[in-house]
């Protein structure tokens, strides 16, 4: 039998989800219809997909992406700071503010191996006015397909006092090596699902969205932070010059590798634009789907609810 406290939490989540249903999308975005995506996908034969701008077999993409993140794991955070001039930290702070977790939240953070989102979740709970209510136990599962990324996250957690902070707010933490398209988790087991800078690397984003819907409880919230499409023509041209001319060189200088960062900028261009991704989230069954552009659309936060 569910506890009264958990019942109150689920009720709160459901009521908040209804409030969000009344909100309009935060940005009009650039309208790219589904027909355009279908036309783009038709460029690939059955069993083929993209790895950046390269055509590969679907079964090859996962191993290629795995190798990319295995190679960059140790320098991942350093390169994030360099490439975004530290702005990625602000994006992730805003992302967590959108989630606004309360004690009792059970979060699954997918593709979060180094812990950036999960650690913010714990710190948000600690700084929340309701953090004194430690009768409600919270939980976060940090999931990633790449064990190297998880290893970095565990080291950061130990060195940064994250586990102690989690204990102070009655929040349990576990780590899960798993494929976002095939999560070894029961149905309706979390009331929040986050995925940051990960879904564009998955072979089948629609399967990730289906898994998110499956593991969320009714009233649960899906939040995605991902690189997106800059809408202003002039800013997009400047962004493209920086992305293709500077970032790979930066990767070579800072991390000793340029190919993973060439893939990075190419993968961003292959990912659906804001409106198109919104339609994909709705097709997975989510409702009250909205998005907000950050930094002129360099990244976007997409939100949806399982109702």
Write out the binding residues. 114, 144, 179-180
In 3D space, the residue among 292, 281, 286 whose CA is nearest the CA of residue 306 turns out to be 286
8 A C-beta contact, residue 116 and residue 75: no
- Residues belonging to the binding site for S-adenosyl-L-methionine are 114, 144, 179-180
Distances (CA, A) of 233 to 111, 226, 240, 242, 243: 31, 20, 10, 14, 15
CA distance 56 to 68: 15
β-pairing, 216-227 with 299-305? antiparallel
**Using CA atoms, how far apart are residues 36 and 40, in angstroms rounded to an integer?**
6
Backbone conformation region of residue 298, classed left if phi is above 0, alpha if psi is from -120 to 50, else beta: alpha
Give 286: exposed, middle or buried? Use CB within 10 Å, 0-12, 13-18, 19+.
Answer: buried
Sequence-ordered list of residues with C-beta below 8 angstroms from that of 157, at least 6 positions apart, any chain: 115, 119, 163, 173
> Distance between CA atoms of 229 and 235, rounded to whole angstroms?
11
| Contact by Cβ (8 Å): 108, 76 | no
- HSE of 223, CA atoms in CB hemisphere, 13 A: 29
């Amino acid at each position: 039998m569910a506890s009264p406290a958990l019942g109150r939490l689920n009720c709160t989540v459901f009521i908040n989800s209804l409030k969000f249903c009344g909100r309009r999308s935060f940005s009009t975005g650039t309208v790219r219809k589904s027909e355009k995506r279908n036309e783009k996908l038709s460029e690939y034969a059955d069993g083929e997909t993209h790895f950046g701008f390269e055509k590969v077999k679907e079964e090859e993409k996962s191993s290629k992406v795995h190798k990319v993140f295995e190679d960059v794991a140790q320098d991942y955070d350093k390169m994030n700071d360099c490439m975004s001039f530290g702005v990625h930290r602000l994006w992730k702070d805003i992302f967590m503010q959108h989630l606004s977790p309360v004690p009792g939240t059970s979060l699954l953070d997918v593709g979060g191996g180094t812990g950036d989102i999960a650690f913010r979740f714990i710190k948000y709970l600690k700084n929340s006015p309701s953090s004194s209510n430690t009768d409600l136990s919270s939980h976060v599962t940090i999931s990633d397909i790449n064990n190297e990324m998880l290893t970095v996250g565990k080291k950061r957690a130990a060195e940064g006092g994250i586990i102690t902070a989690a204990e102070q707010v009655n929040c349990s933490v576990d780590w899960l090596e798993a494929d976002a398209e095939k999560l070894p988790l029961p149905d309706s087991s979390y009331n929040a699902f986050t995925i940051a800078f990960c879904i564009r690397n998955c072979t089948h984003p629609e399967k990730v969205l289906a898994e998110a819907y499956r593991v969320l409880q009714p009233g649960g919230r899906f939040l995605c932070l991902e690189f997106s499409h800059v809408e202003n023509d002039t800013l997009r041209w400047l962004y493209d010059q920086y992305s293709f001319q500077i970032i790979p060189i930066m990767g070579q200088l800072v991390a000793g590798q340029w190919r993973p960062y060439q893939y990075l900028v190419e993968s961003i261009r292959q990912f659906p634009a804001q409106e198109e991704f919104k339609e994909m989230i709705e097709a997975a069954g989510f409702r009250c789907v909205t998005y907000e552009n950050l930094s002129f659309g360099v990244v976007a936060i997409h939100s949806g609810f399982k109702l």
